[in-house]
Each structure stands twice: as structure tokens, then as C-alpha cells.
Amino acid sequence: MEHQTTRILIADDHPLVRGALRQAVANALAGADIVECGSLEEATKALEANPEFDLILLDLAMPRVRGYSGLMMLRAEYPSVPVVVVSAREERNVIRLCLDFGASGFIPKSTDMDTMQAAIRAVLAGDVWAPADVDLNAPVDREAAENVRRLASLTPQQARVLMMLSEGLLNKQIAYELSVSEATVKAHVSAILQKLGVESRTQAVIAAARIESMTDLSADAQGD
């Protein structure tokens, strides 16, 4: 991979963190093309404009992003672009769930610059990277694993709809936000219920919240 053609997308709502990540990328990959975004919306617009990115460095919790929904949406819509979560959270179950949702790596924000650079290079080389003290082969809770599998099967638009359902929005409000018809929203809701194996919107929201509650990500809704 030629460094001058390597394109990295940094999505974090804190300018200081973006600056630190930019420095880490620049040190790891001389000549890399780096794009910074302060929100998930900005990141998706950048990807829509040019999806030819080699890596996404993603803050786990940003404004209007609940739990793992941002990661889920990016992995569903751009499956060929590896995503590395960069977060202040360092709990093993948070790291494991990010990897289960399709992240190619997890870098705690407390990681030193040299290790961060090594992690970025490792993922670009095709490896999965996590802190050395995290056992990726440890057994997981079967119920949690099944919930992750079902949530990960949602399309990007279905993930957006579920996120808005979790915010308490009505179908007409979701339709307005997504610039689609209410009939389209109803179709998405029906598909969500089927994929999650539940019978109501409330049960779907509970299923999503159950994953959040395992890691208490709701407490970080304003960002890491």
C-alpha cells in the first residue's frame, strides 16, 4: 500500500482528539490523505462523496449516536472499509462488543502514540488489533452474542430508524428526518421487528438498550 494514496477518515467530535489522531496517522503513514469529521453525519457525507477510504478511526459516542449504532451503520454501508474504534472506554466488554459489531480494532484513547501508530499499521495490513490484555478468544455470553448478531444484520437505514425509535420519535418524525414517506418508515420498522425477533417497537428499543446497558454507553451520549 502506497502511503501517499492511503486515505484515512477521522470521526470524533472533540477537536483536540482529532488533532492527536491526525498526528498519530501522519507519523505512522507519511503522506497519508487525512479527512477529519466532527460528527457521524459529516463522516457519512464524506464517505458518500468518496468511499475510497482505507481506514476509519471512529469515536464510539458522538452527538445523536446511541450505543454502537454509528459503528453498525458504517459497517453495514461500507463493509469493505475497516473501522477502528478509538474510545475513552477501556472495559473488556466494550472492546469485545465493538469487535463483534465488525470493528477491525479498538484503540483506547489512553494508548501511547507509538502503540497507536503500530495499531493503525496493523489494521491497514489486514490484522485485527486490540489491547494486549484483552483475550479475544474468551467465551462470550450466548444471549448477548445473539443480540449482537441480530442487530448487526440491520441495514444502515434500519439502524438509523432504530436509533430514532430509541429517541422516542414517531413515524412521521422519522420520515421527516430521513426525507422518506411514512410508508417507507413502517416498512423499515416491520423489517427491524422481524430481524430482531420481536413483536413491537417497544421490544425493539429494549433489545437495543440491552446491549447499551451491558456497557452503560448511554452515560456517554454526549461523547467520549
Predicted pLDDT at 218: 45
Residue with the larger pLDDT of the pair 145 and 111: 111
65 and 154 fall within a common domain: no
Q: What does pLDDT average to over the chain?
A: 86
22 and 118 fall within a common domain: yes
119 and 152 fall within a common domain: no
Kindly give the interhelix angle for 182-196 and 142-152, rounded to the nearest 10 degrees.
Answer: 150
Is 136 a member of any domain? no
At CB < 8 A and 24+ separation, what contacts does 19-28 make? 21/57, 21/86, 21/116, 23/113, 24/113, 24/116, 24/117, 24/120, 25/57, 25/120, 27/113, 27/117, 28/116, 28/117, 28/118, 28/120, 28/121
Is 82 a member of any domain? yes
**pLDDT, tens digit, 9 for 90 and up, residues 132-190:** 887 767 666 677 778 888 888 888 889 889 888 988 899 999 999 899 999 999 999 99
Is 129 a member of any domain? no
Give the Cα separation of 173 and 164 in Å (integer). Answer: 9
75 and 159 fall within a common domain: no
201: containing domain: 142-220
Is 162 a member of any domain? yes
88 and 13 fall within a common domain: yes
Point out the domain boundary residue: 98, 124, 150.
Answer: 124
Q: How many CB atoms lie within 10 A of CB 197?
A: 12
Point out the domain boundary residue: 96, 124, 152.
Answer: 124
166: CATH = 1.10.10.10
HSE on the CB side for 53, CA within 13 Å?
26
106 and 146 fall within a common domain: no
What mean pLDDT comes out for the span 13-38? 92
Is 134 a member of any domain? no
159 and 50 fall within a common domain: no
Q: How many CB atoms lie within 10 A of CB 194?
A: 12
Residue 25, pLDDT > 50, answer yes
Point out the domain boundary residue: 124, 152, 175.
Answer: 124
Predicted pLDDT at 175: 94
Phi, psi of 124, deg, nearest 5: -65, -25
Residue 116, pLDDT > 80, answer yes
33 and 7 fall within a common domain: yes
Predicted pLDDT at 141: 67
Domain count along the chain = 2
Is 131 a member of any domain? no
Give the Cα separation of 60 and 57 in Å (integer). Answer: 10
112: CATH = 3.40.50.2300
Phi-psi region of 195 (alpha: psi -120 to 50; beta: other; left: phi over 0): alpha
Predicted pLDDT at 222: 40
23 and 56 fall within a common domain: yes
